[in-house]
Each structure stands twice: as C-alpha cells, then as structure tokens.
Structure 1
C-alpha cells in the first residue's frame, strides 16, 4: 500500500513536470523577442526649398537671418532620417557619439553647397573652426542632424560613420535634387497654380516612386508654400515608395496621405516670398 502511494506521487510529479515543460515550450514558441528600440525600416531623404524656410525663419523672429546656397534655386538637404514605418523615429540613438566637424573637412565645399545651414542666429553668418567653417555649435543643422539621425543610421554598414552619413546626403542631392526633378516633371519655380497631386505626379513621372510633400502656411493669406519634399530609400539604399511614413505626431493615428498640404488649394513655389505677418509653419518632423 505504501509502495502504491509512492508510485502515485512519483507519477504525479512526472506528469506535473511534463505539463509544465510543455507549457513553457509552447509559450517560448509563440513568443517573440523584444524589438530593438532603435530599429528602423527605411531612410527618408528630405530636401528643403530655401526660400520658404527662410521666409518662415525670418518671420518667426526679426533677428533671424538666412544663408543661401551659391547656386540659385538649388534645393538643400535637411537630413537623412532612419525611420520605422507607422511612427516617427527612432532618434538620438547614441548620445555618446558626438558631432566632429573635422570629419567633414574633406567635403566642406560640398556641405556648404548642398547641405546649407540656412537658419542663422543673431545675424551670425558662419562659425570658424580653425580655418574651416563647419559649425560645431548645437544650433547648427549639421550638429543636430548627426546627433538625432546620423547616430541611428550607423547600424547600416554603408552609413557607419559621420563622413559616410553626410557624404551620402551630398550624393543624393546631386543625383536627385528637386530643382531638376520638378523641372523634368514640368513644375518650375514661381509656379502658383499646381496642387499637391500635380507634385506627386511630377515626381513619380521622373523617379517612378512616390514622395511626401510638405507645406508651410502663411498666417495672413492662409496660402500654402512648398517647404520640403521627402523621398525614401531602403537599407540597400535603393529608392522605394514612401508608403507608411508619418508626418507630425498628431497625425500618426490618421489614415493620412503623403502630405500635410491641403489637397484642394494651390501651392506657392516662389523664388522670393513677400514678407507680411508671421507665417504658420507645420513641419511633419520637427527636425
């Protein structure tokens, strides 16, 4: 009788252990490892129309001044933004990697032509680093773009250094500058009648991919001005559609189109914008 109790206890223990192991195995099979917080799907390459950016910058503060590229009507680089579809970011992936202006001295001339720091503070036109003029200040676009986005791009072998990150932006600006793309799509500077759908069609006719169109808005006339155009690349640096990217955070949950512009109103694409009252800028990324 005592032996039967022992056997029953042993069998019960084995059964309990077996069921527990089976449950644990099924749980592990059905679970997924936690996602890397700095993972991303594609790179958004953002170009800015300097005239619109300068207008909004100077209207926001009378002490602001602007720095333009030497080549008239050239679109400038805002940034290369590693991005996860359906959300914004990641950003500031490695704060221990500081911006080093010396890493860009060999491409300084191209930086000042294609990746211009348009927004100047307190009438400051340039900041000298020894004999060079790549600003190390936190207010500069280069410092900001590297720390916020470049440190996230480092996981890609082709963008694994500060030099490679900025140099890729220059290459893309030379290959896909929106000055040339829009002209090929029959939209020229000083166009005041084209709708956002016209811009989509023009870009797709040339690049065979879609793009995000970003507008800024004048508070006095409520007119919308062309501010930025964003095209997308996958991790092999092949151009792809931008489907799934988001604008500002309040739009993340919306079934939005690839724009923040009003679809029914024309967009001002001007080489000189009259300064009236303060403008209202609504960038998709506060970058």
Structure 2
C-alpha cells in the first residue's frame, strides 16, 4: 500500500498533464518569438529595396520641382534610396538618432552623388538635405552592416550596375512622351537585370499615368540583386507614359 501511494503521488493527473502541455505551448511560442527577434539581430533587416526615379515624372506634377544648384540633371534615372525591409512586409526606420548625417564621411562621393542621387526638391539646394534624410531614416537601420560612407558607396555601386535607361532603350522603350505597356517595361528590366521589378506611377497635371519609380531588391549585404521577398504594392495603369526630360 505504501509503494502504491508513492506511485499515485508521482503519477500525473489529467489536470497536471493539461497544465504541462499549456506550459510547453507557452514556452514554444516564447522561443519562436525569441528566434524571430534573434534573426534580426545580425543586421536589423532582411533585404533592401533599391529605388530609382525618373526625374521628368517627379517634376511633371502639380507639385513641380526645382533643379539642384548644379543645374538640370542629365536625362536618366536617379537614385531615390536604398531602404531596409523585413520579409514580413514591414520596415525599420530612424534607427539611430545618435548617428546624424555627416557630409565629411561622404565628401569623396559628393560629385557622384550629385549626378546619380540628385535632389529635385524645392527650394534649390545641393542635395545635402535629401541625403541626410535618406541616411537618418533608412541608412541608420543598416548601420551594423554598412557605415555611413559604405551605405552611400554601396548604393552608387548598385546604380552603376543597373542602368535602367539603357536597358529600356535597348528594348525600344524610350523617354519620348509615348505610352508603353507596363508589362513590357517589367519584361525588359527582367531581361536586362535577371530580376523582377516593380513599377510605380504618378500622374501629370493632365492626369496621364506616367512612369515614376522602379523597385528592385538587394540582399542584406547591399551588394547583389535578389528576387524581392515582398512585392511592394504600387498601382499603375496597363499603359503609361514615358515623358521626355
């Protein structure tokens, strides 16, 4: 009887089993959340959107634009930004208030930035405000991988590798005010880069849909193009204008 009592004492009851299972489930959830957090600790993001814009479409709106202090930019796509993102569709921003933009860290890149990452905001300026915004909102979130100089240099390097205007013109798609099928634009970029792109449009004062921005994706190192883990939601008509600049 004594031995049987000991067995009964250490045998789990249905209530204890339920509590144990509930506890295990809770611990499992906590571990999954911890693993999710740890997956971002290495660099704080999963990939980048690399975004280029067509200057004419930026200017050809009711808002209009101002040319930078260096004068009218060349008729080409220019950089909007390199934006860290998560695979779940969200993104980090303004990650380090203690790391403001410092022009001395990118001074050797200044002439390249003025050409390839030109500002069109008003009033006319030299681009510093634009680059400061991009670094502080987006660049600081990749700081564990790319310091300030490396962030801008990496973005310029990607731009050198992805000549969108050349790719489109080779496919017969030119900035001539004519209208082109969006799918043809996407196919041309896919053929030219090896990766799918997202096209974003805006409207001119006459409400014509026009080619505005192109999104491609870059791996977390900031070096290589990849297929986008998440497709940005951008709307376009099936036929859009490619305006002259």
Say yes or no: TM over 0.5: yes
CA displacement at 1:177 relative to structure 2: 2.4
**1:238-263 residue CA offsets vs partner (Å, 9 max, x unmatched):** 2122352223xxxxxxxxxxx41012
Q: Distance in 2 between matches of 1:245 and 1:149?
A: 18
**Is the Cα–Cα contact under 8 Å of residues 198 and 232 in structure 2 kept in the other structure?**
no
Aligned match of 1:153 in 142, 145, 152? 142
CA displacement at 1:222 relative to structure 2: 2.4
Q: Distance in 2 between matches of 1:22 and 1:47?
A: 52
Other-structure match for 1:196 = 182
CA displacement at 1:227 relative to structure 2: 0.8
Question: TM-score scaled by structure 1?
Answer: 0.71
Q: Distance in 2 between matches of 1:241 and 1:22?
A: 40
User: Within the alignment, does 1:65 sit opposite 2:56 as a pair?
Assistant: no
Q: Distance in 1 between matches of 2:163 and 2:169?
A: 10
* Residue 99 to residue 10, structure 1, CA distance change in 2 (3 Å): farther
Other-structure match for 1:251 = none
* Residue 180 to residue 69, structure 1, CA distance change in 2 (3 Å): farther
CA displacement at 1:109 relative to structure 2: 0.8
* Residue 15 to residue 151, structure 1, CA distance change in 2 (3 Å): same
Q: Which moved more, 1:86-95 or 1:74-83?
A: 86-95
User: Within the alignment, does 1:181 sit opposite 2:180 as a pair?
Assistant: no
Q: Which moved more, 1:109-118 or 1:35-44?
A: 35-44
Unaligned runs of 5+ in 2: none
Unaligned runs of 5+ in 1: 127-133, 248-258, 273-287
Aligned match of 1:114 in 110, 113, 116? 116
Question: TM-score scaled by structure 2?
Answer: 0.82
| Greater fraction helix | 2
**1:129-150 residue CA offsets vs partner (Å, 9 max, x unmatched):** xxxxx62xxxx21111111110
Q: Name the SS for the 1:205 alignment partner.
A: helix
Q: How many matched pairs?
A: 235
